[in-house]
């Protein structure tokens, strides 16, 4: 009787198999670092962002780091505003037309308000945080979950934050948005059919532009997105349906 391989070997093989990963907010910070790390490992990246000027250079970077066994894979980079339901719908349509249905989606696009007490946060700034962090996440779920259901499999990762599980002064809009992402994730987990899973993933405290806006020069004491990406990629690639509804931290 043949002894089955250890579970860690099965998970490693699953992570090593080439996957198609959609990442929102891919032009900078955690999204860009994760995209480059995945491309380096031979995975296909579908990336979107509003920063059109940064997307063409990212396409070149992705091609240059792609592993030798994945040089023929075409990464798809699109100008998409996750705040717009129509824009996300167009992204979903393009993905289906190119037969590039993602195995994994990372809802990474996010923003934070400038440090301020809630009664001093400008209305448009509050709205932007809600529109990107909550509505943007919901727009992606609205248009891509049906595609994954049709494909009978898929992992959805909603980027959360430590401030989606705790709170801090001066960033109330951001805290509210990330608490919403945590609640949205848990609720959607109860709606997904077999074969799909959704998790909320806190990246930890990483030296991004968003952290710099809160912490100032102290942000430099924390890890860079580039040093964070390998660990994050390992974790995301190894997620399974058993993780459905979990709140995790890299």
What would the two tokens of residue 200 be? 């909320």
Interstrand relation of 154-159 and 196-202 (parallel, antiparallel or unpaired): parallel
Q: Note the pTM of the prediction, 2 decimals.
A: 0.91
* Series of mean pLDDT values for 10-residue runs along the chain (250 residues): 56 72 97 98 96 89 80 84 98 97 98 98 98 98 98 98 97 98 98 98 94 93 96 98 98
pLDDT of the residue at 142: 98
- Residue tagged active-site, from 126, 174, 179, 228: 174
Q: At what angle do helices 172-189 and 136-151 cross, to 10 degrees?
A: 20
SS3 content of the chain, % helix, strand, coil (to 5): 55, 15, 30
Check if 222 is active-site.
no
Q: What is the pLDDT of residue 56?
A: 87
Q: What pLDDT score was predicted for residue 129?
A: 98
Q: Which of 160, 155, 238 is nearest to 189 (CA)?
A: 155
């Amino acid at each position: 009787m043949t002894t089955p391989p250890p579970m860690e070997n099965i998970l490693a093989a699953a992570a090593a198999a080439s996957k198609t990963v959609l990442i929102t907010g891919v032009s900078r910070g955690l999204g860009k670092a994760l995209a480059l790390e995945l491309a380096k490992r031979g995975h296909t990246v579908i990336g979107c962002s509003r920063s059109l000027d940064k997307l063409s250079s990212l396409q070149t970077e992705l091609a240059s780091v792609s592993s030798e066994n994945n040089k023929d894979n075409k990464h798809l980079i699109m100008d998409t505003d996750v705040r717009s339901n129509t824009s996300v719908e167009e992204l979903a349509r393009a993905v289906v037309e190119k037969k590039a249905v993602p195995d994994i989606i990372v809802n990474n696009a996010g923003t934070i308000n400038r440090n301020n007490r809630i009664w001093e946060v400008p209305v448009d700034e509050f709205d932007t945080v809600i529109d990107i962090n909550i509505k943007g996440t919901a727009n992606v779920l609205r248009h891509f979950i049906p595609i994954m259901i049709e494909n009978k499999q898929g992992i959805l990762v909603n980027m959360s934050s430590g401030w989606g599980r705790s709170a801090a002064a001066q960033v109330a809009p951001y805290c509210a948005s990330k608490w919403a992402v945590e609640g949205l994730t848990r609720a959607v987990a109860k709606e997904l059919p077999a074969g799909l899973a959704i998790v909320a993933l806190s990246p930890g405290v990483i030296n991004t532009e968003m952290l710099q806006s809160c912490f100032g020069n102290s942000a430099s004491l924390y890890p860079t997105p580039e040093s964070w990406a390998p660990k994050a990629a390992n974790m995301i690639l190894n997620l399974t349906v058993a993780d459905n509804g979990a709140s995790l931290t890299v």
